[in-house]
């Protein structure tokens, strides 16, 4: 039985992001469902919990009080979960990792296979979520490791390894641009373009590049799901701007092509983070080493392709 209700989670998320839409994205819910949770809470407490502003949502005094209580409860639940986990009988060591969607289909499964070869009794608990959420889980101690884009240096975590990955054009392997060694940003002007939204790290970076163009682009799709964008690109319906790590498995298997953008030094940093590397179990240290080595390999491939 969940100790924190969906309504309480929705309240805290909307307060954190100041937006029902962004809160819904983090909760994998629809904006209407999140809004309904907020309205139900306001009905239950008999007063508004948020001010509805043109640019978002701001907690009222009542909302701030309730959000504070929810956050205290979340911290207590996290501590309780850790204590309960310690009581479970173990047939091996469990390592918990927070990742983003783009790492869930190839990168992490490969690392786990290598871990199993070294530690046959090891088990994995993986959490797929946005950067802010998984970094918060590491800081609170509810997970051991996180792999996240553009992790702030002053966040209070130990950054074990960082790979710097250049941006590139992703398209069907038969696309004319995939025959080149590099592509100019101007080359997308004549193409159907698919974009990540601003909830993903790469979205604002791609938008910054596109703003340098003097002509509008033909944007046919926007999504917070890289998996969806890749599937549309595989159908030959358009191109997108991503990093090599986003499409590594598809490029390796010949399902997609990747060509780096020329003339731009813009890149993203993919980092492996831990609250305290020395406090990790032997299994945790083993998979941290495996992931660090994999990040080195991906960075080398990204630099070679550029």
Task: Give per-residue pLDDT as tens, 289-302.
Answer: 999 898 888 777 76
**Residue 89: what pLDDT?**
43
Top pLDDT among 80 and 275 is at 275
Confidence of residue 25 (pLDDT cuts 50, 70, 90): confident
pLDDT class of 183 with cuts at 50, 70, 90: confident
Does the domain at residues 164-267 carry the CATH identifier 3.40.190.10? yes
The reported pLDDT for the residue numbered 155 is 76
- Prediction pTM value: 0.60
Buried b (16+ CB within 10 A) or exposed e, 38-65: beebbeeeeeebbeeeeeebebeeebee
Contacts of 217 (CB under 8 A, 6+ apart): 188, 189, 191, 193, 210
Which of 14-28, 67-81, 208-222 holds the top average pLDDT? Answer: 14-28
Distance CA 125, CA 95 (A): 6
266 or 106, which is more confident: 106
Between residues 15 and 277, the one the model is more confident about: 15
pLDDT for position 34: 92
Interval 118-145 mean pLDDT: 87
CATH 1.10.10.10 domain extents, the chain: 6-86
* Nearest Cα to Cα of residue 236 among 217, 252, 220: 220
pLDDT at 2 (0 to 100): 58
User: Where in the sequence of the chain do the CATH 3.40.190.10 domains occur?
Assistant: 91-161+269-305, 164-267
Average pLDDT over residues 59-64: 93
- What percent of the chain has pLDDT above 90? 26
Domain over 91-161+269-305 is classified CATH 3.40.190.10: yes
* Region 58-72 average pLDDT: 91
Model confidence at 206: pLDDT above 60 = yes
For position 264, what pLDDT does the model report?
58
- Give the C-alpha separation, 257 to 175, whole Å: 8
pLDDT at residue 224 in the model: 83
pLDDT digits (tens, 9 = 90+) for 158-175: 888 888 888 889 999 999
Residue 105: predicted pLDDT: 76
Q: What is the pLDDT of residue 304?
A: 58
Topology of the domain comprising 6-86:
Arc Repressor Mutant, subunit A (1.10.10)
Percent of the chain at pLDDT above 70? Answer: 92
CA distance 296 to 104: 18
Is residue 38 scored above 60 in pLDDT? Answer: yes
Of 184, 208, 188, 190, the residue nearest 263 (C-alpha): 184
Q: What pLDDT score does 133 carry?
A: 85
Q: What is the pLDDT of residue 59?
A: 93
Q: What pLDDT digit, counting tens, does each position of 80-112 carry?
A: 766 665 555 444 588 999 988 778 777 888 888
Which of the residue ranges 120-129, 220-229, 264-273 would you say has the lowest mean pLDDT?
264-273
Taking CA atoms, 103 is separated from 46, 204, 250, 258, in Å, by: 44, 20, 12, 17
CB 145 within 8 A of CB 137: no
Structure tokens at 181: 């060694």
pLDDT band at 1 (very low <50, low <70, confident <90, very high): very low
> Tell me, what's the pLDDT at 91?
43
Top pLDDT among 232 and 153 is at 232
Strand extents, DSSP E, 19-171: 50-53, 56-59, 94-99, 123-128, 145-149, 158-171
């Amino acid at each position: 039985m969940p100790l924190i209700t969906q309504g309480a989670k929705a309240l805290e998320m909307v307060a954190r992001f100041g937006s029902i839409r962004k809160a819904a994205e983090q909760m994998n819910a629809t904006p209407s469902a999140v809004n309904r949770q907020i309205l139900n809470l306001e009905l239950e407490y008999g007063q508004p919990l948020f001010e509805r502003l043109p640019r978002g949502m701001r907690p009222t005094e009542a909302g701030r009080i309730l959000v504070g209580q929810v956050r205290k409860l979340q911290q207590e639940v996290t501590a309780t979960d850790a204590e309960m986990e310690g009581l479970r009988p173990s047939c091996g060591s469990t390592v918990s990792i927070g990742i983003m969607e783009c790492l869930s289909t190839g990168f992490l499964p490969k690392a786990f296979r290598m871990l199993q070869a070294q530690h046959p009794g090891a088990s994995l608990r993986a959490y797929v979520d946005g950067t802010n959420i998984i970094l918060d889980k590491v800081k609170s101690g509810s997970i051991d490791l996180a792999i996240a884009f553009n992790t702030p240096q002053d966040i209070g975590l130990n950054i074990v390894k960082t790979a710097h990955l250049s941006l590139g054009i992703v398209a069907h392997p038969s696309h004319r641009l995939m025959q080149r060694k590099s592509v100019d940003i101007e080359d997308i002007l004549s193409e159907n373009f698919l974009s990540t939204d601003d909830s993903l790290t790469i979205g604002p970076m791609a938008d910054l590049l596109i703003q340098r163009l003097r002509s509008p682009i033909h944007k046919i799709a926007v999504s917070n799901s890289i998996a969806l964008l890749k599937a549309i690109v595989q159908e030959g319906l358009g191109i997108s701007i991503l990093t090599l790590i986003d499409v590594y498995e598809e490029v390796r298997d010949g399902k997609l092509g990747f060509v780096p953008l020329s003339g731009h030094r813009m890149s993203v940093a993919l980092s492996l983070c831990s609250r305290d590397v020395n406090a990790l179990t032997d299994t945790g240290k083993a998979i941290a080493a495996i992931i660090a080595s994999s990040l080195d390999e991906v960075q080398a491939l990204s630099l070679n392709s550029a």
